[in-house]
Chains A and B, each alone.
Chain A
Amino acid sequence: QKEVEQNSGPLSVPEGAIASLNCTYSDRGSQSFFWYRQYSGKSPELIMSIYSNGDKEDGRFTAQLNKASQYVSLLIRDSQPSDSATYLCAVNRHTGNQFYFGTGTSLTVIP
């Protein structure tokens, strides 16, 4: 079983719509959760971190965490073509330096 699973996509949404990205993880001891954006040929860039159950909002981005379901998601409101990228979900057990990444979901926002 993979530590972190994401739907690889591609996910396509029209400009202005809400993009919903999902991630599940296998280790119930995971404490820290991250969403990274990676443009083609570039390195991952941190978008959001979340540590507690519930929602965390930052501008057009909302991260949602449900530890009971071992599920974390990222919502992008008012999607823009510049949001087109691969989104990586990462988790950390927080008792060591072992970060686990998903394979990423490719998002395309259509103008």
Chain B
Amino acid sequence: ETGVTQTPRHLVMGMTNKKSLKCEQHLGHNAMYWYKQSAKKPLELMFVYSLEERVENNSVPSRFSPECPNSSHLFLHLHTLQPEDSALYLCASSQDPPGGADTQYFGPGTRLTVL
């Protein structure tokens, strides 16, 4: 069973709603990631936190807001999303040695539908 959990597993929201996705890793890792996976597209890296500091933000719209209160928890706050934001949102974690990151382990994902 995966050491990375995500809740909720499915989420349907309107464009004016505010919701949050939660990720928790039980692997003792020090880096966490949010990815977006849309049909026929490669995984898109959205945010990276290493040692609880954001180190990557790949031009993600401000309607997505990450939060990493500690090395085990990661949130993605959603606000006024668009229908094209409907996708599978995956959380991952890795153990980050100096100078780089090792293998990533993924959570089960949250299937998001924006109406």
Report whether B43 and A96 are in contact in the complex, using a CB–CB cutoff of 8 Å: no
Proximity bits, B3-39, A CB within 8 Å = 1, else 0: 0000000000000000000000000000101000000
Cβ contacts under 8 Å, A92 to chain B: 100-101
Interface size on A, residues (CB 8 A): 27
Q: Which of A4, A97, A102 contacts B56 (CB 8 A)?
A: A97
Q: How far is the CA of A25 from the CA of B47 in the complex (A)?
A: 22
B115 contacts A by Cβ under 8 Å: no
Proximity bits, A83-94, B CB within 8 Å = 1, else 0: 000001010111
Across the interface, name the chain A residue whose C-beta is closest to B6: A43
A28 contacts B by Cβ under 8 Å: no
Across the interface, name the chain B residue whose C-beta is closest to A43: B106
Minimum CB–CB distance for A76 against chain B, Å:
20
Cβ contacts under 8 Å, A45 to chain B: 106
Proximity bits, A12-29, B CB within 8 Å = 1, else 0: 000000000000000000
Q: Which residues of chain A from 28 to 49 have any CB-CB distance to chain B below 8 Å in the complex?
A: 31-32, 34, 36, 42-46, 49
A95 contacts B by Cβ under 8 Å: yes
Q: Which residues of chain B from 73 to 107 have any CB-CB distance to chain A below 8 Å in the complex?
A: 88, 90, 94, 96, 99-107
Report whether A97 and B42 are in contact in the complex, using a CB–CB cutoff of 8 Å: no
Q: A44-B90, A103-B41 are in contact. List 12 more A-B contacts (CB 8 A).
A: A43-B109, A44-B43, A46-B104, A90-B43, A92-B100, A95-B100, A97-B50, A97-B94, A99-B104, A100-B42, A101-B43, A103-B42
Residues of A within 8 A of B (CB): 2, 4, 31-32, 34, 36, 42-46, 49, 88, 90, 92-104
A-B contact pairs, 30 of them (CB 8 A): A2-B42, A31-B100, A32-B103, A34-B103, A36-B106, A42-B109, A43-B108, A44-B43, A44-B106, A46-B103, A49-B103, A88-B43, A92-B100, A93-B100, A94-B100, A94-B101, A96-B55, A97-B31, A97-B33, A97-B55, A97-B56, A97-B100, A97-B101, A98-B45, A98-B56, A99-B104, A100-B45, A102-B42, A103-B40, A103-B41
